[in-house]
Structure 1
Amino acid sequence: MKPGYEKIIEQAEQSFTARVVNRNSRPLLSQAWHFHPEIEICYTVKSNGRRFVGNQIDDYQQGDLVLFGPNLPHGFTTETYCSQIVIQMMTNFMGDTFFLKPELRPVQALFERARQGIVFTGSTKPKALRIMRKILAAEGLTKFMHLLELLQVLAESKDYQPICTETYALEFNETQLGRIKIVYDHIMQNYTREVNIKEVADKLNISEVAFYKFIKKQTQKTYTQLINEFRINHAGKLLINTAKTVGEICHESGFNNVSYFNRKFKQIMQRTPEKFREQYLG
């Protein structure tokens, strides 16, 4: 079974994401099996079941702490309610050379080990949990400093084991990631212009009707919903980093109606464009 491609929408005001994920039982691997280009740190606050990572299957329970490298397929199945703290970031979220600095090379080595997936044990787990809760509660620079503190704890830990075989990590590449990546690449390149379903469907060599079904099955969203998420995120960045009016940002983000833009922005960001700018800059 090919893993589904999960697109992590980067928040306009953050360089990484940190959140609590709560869900009801998810007994089927087909519901959980996915990958994404971001590194992921996951702590299970409440749940137990089966953890699938690459070519390995293990039991997991409350207190499970794992690190997944970029594009490493993974998923958790459970018959019970599940609550997890999830932190995700690109390997170069601080630039291509930041972690090459001498003081940060242990973190770079951690990222390399994460290609196999890592499960942490012992005293590392409560230390990491305390810092992850600080990350959830903090904002701005303090939030970022706690992330570096967490990466230091994980990089220096001796209480860990690789999950997948080294051979699997070396052989796994983007040709195995499925057709959904083509769709997201297309959206990334074209979300500021008019939507053209046929154009992207042709890239997959399927009909438009089949394309709609494919997107819904893979993402649980419509193609329009996906594009709007990219557009609103782009608009958020413009609101933070420029002095452009809401009308100008609306059109630069691919919308042609300000009222519709305002409605979708509030739906996705939980606040109006004006309030978003005011809260961030204020």
Structure 2
Amino acid sequence: MKIQKEIIEFEEDKSFKLFSPSLKNCFFWHYHPEIELVYVEASNGIRHVGKNISDFKESDLLLIGSNVPHLNFDYKIQTECRQLVLQMRENFLQDLIFPIPEFENIKKLLDRSYLGLSFSGETKKLVVEKLHHIKDENSFKSFIGLIEILQILAHSTEVKELNNEDTRIKWFLNDKIRMGTIYDYIHENYDKKTNVNEIAEMVSLSTPAFCRYFKKQTNMTFTDFVNTYRINQAKLLLLQNSCVTEVCFQVGFDSLSYFNKLFKKYIGETPSAFKKKHLSKVK
């Protein structure tokens, strides 16, 4: 269940890779520093990007920013499913887009990709055609094709932002040692009672100093963050068709009524309603 960092390898002479993965029976909740453009074609499915969980029908085209957690888009799809995934090198924006004034609109597009962007209509149709075309081109022509694709996306009005806040996992990447320790502690202990004094001692801070540090890093209290983490873990378990009561206790709550109340507060619907709605979309 722990979020995984995907290590992406590129051919030495290429700035991006374009391929067709198939992970239908794999629950791959992951992130990577590379910006990613995903096209998925299926009768219906769910997208889970950052904090957003929503459905798509027939097809979806998404631009996902650096270090934004997301689930593989073919998860639990039992009908025919086709995917094209384009991943750009980690330094793509910094080295290739920033220095060129003519790419200002592309820069702005990639800058806001951390929200998760879903494209529709003629934009999606045109971009998908170009993706299929550049798949068989040589390195130079495929690179020019990628720039054309980004330019189309940058000027499109047929776009929806999936998140209204930053969902990148920079809260532990920016302070790898201390926040990494805190993250690991939460992951190992979210299913039982967490102790703020214990984790403060582990990172060599007094409890008040730890609380100030954590709030500065995450804009949340430690308790709120742990509860958010538990609810996010609960969503993942519910998406795997686990029983609501079992999920409640699996993620560290000792009261089903409190779990239901907190889940509805964070997600806007009860665990049962969430499970019924989203699992019905992938059957």
Shorter-chain TM-score bucket reads: 0.5 to 0.7
TM-score by length of 1: 0.56
Aligned equivalents of 2:83 and 2:149: distance in 1?
A: 16
Aligned to 1:248: none
Aligned partner of residue 22 in structure 2, secondary structure: strand
- Shift of the 161–91 alpha-carbon distance from structure 1 to 2, 3 Å rule, reads farther
Aligned to 1:173: 170
Cα displacement (A) at 1:121: 1.3
What pairs up with 1:109-148 in 2 under 5 angstroms? 109-148=108-147
What pairs up with 1:238-277 in 2 under 5 angstroms? none
- Shift of the 97–13 alpha-carbon distance from structure 1 to 2, 3 Å rule, reads closer
**Deviation per CA, 1:149-178, whole angstroms, max 9, x where unpaired?**
111111111110111122545xx4151699
Cα displacement (A) at 1:21: 1.9
Q: Does 1:83 align with 2:79?
A: no
**Deviation per CA, 1:169-222, whole angstroms, max 9, x where unpaired?**
5xx41516999xx9xxxxxxxxxxxxxxxxxxxxxxxxxxxxxxxxxxxxxxxx
Aligned to 1:67: 63
Q: Is the 8 A contact 1:113 1:162 kept in 2?
A: no
Structure 2: runs of 5 or more not aligned: 181-283
Aligned equivalents of 2:62 and 2:93: distance in 1?
A: 22
Aligned equivalents of 1:142 and 1:94: distance in 2?
A: 19
Q: Is the 8 A contact 2:114 2:167 kept in 1?
A: no
Cα displacement (A) at 1:47: 5.3
User: Which of 34, 42, 51 is 2:30 aligned to?
Assistant: 34
Q: Percent of counterpart pairs with the same letter?
A: 33
Which residue identity lines up with residue 7 of structure 2 in the other structure?
K
Moved over 6 A (4+): 176-179
What pairs up with 1:144-223 in 2 under 5 angstroms? 144-168=143-167, 172-173=169-170, 175=172
Q: Is the 8 A contact 1:15 1:93 kept in 2?
A: yes
Structure 1: runs of 5 or more not aligned: 183-282
Aligned to 1:50: 46
- Shift of the 79–53 alpha-carbon distance from structure 1 to 2, 3 Å rule, reads same
Aligned partner of residue 107 in structure 1, secondary structure: helix
- Shift of the 91–47 alpha-carbon distance from structure 1 to 2, 3 Å rule, reads farther
Q: Is the 8 A contact 1:48 1:78 kept in 2?
A: no
Aligned equivalents of 1:167 and 1:21: distance in 2?
A: 27
**Deviation per CA, 1:68-97, whole angstroms, max 9, x where unpaired?**
000000012223143210000035327536
- Shift of the 32–94 alpha-carbon distance from structure 1 to 2, 3 Å rule, reads closer
TM-score by length of 2: 0.56
Aligned equivalents of 1:123 and 1:97: distance in 2?
A: 27
Q: Is the 8 A contact 2:31 2:68 kept in 1?
A: yes
Aligned partner of residue 88 in structure 1, secondary structure: strand
Aligned to 2:12: 12
Q: CA RMSD in A?
A: 2.5
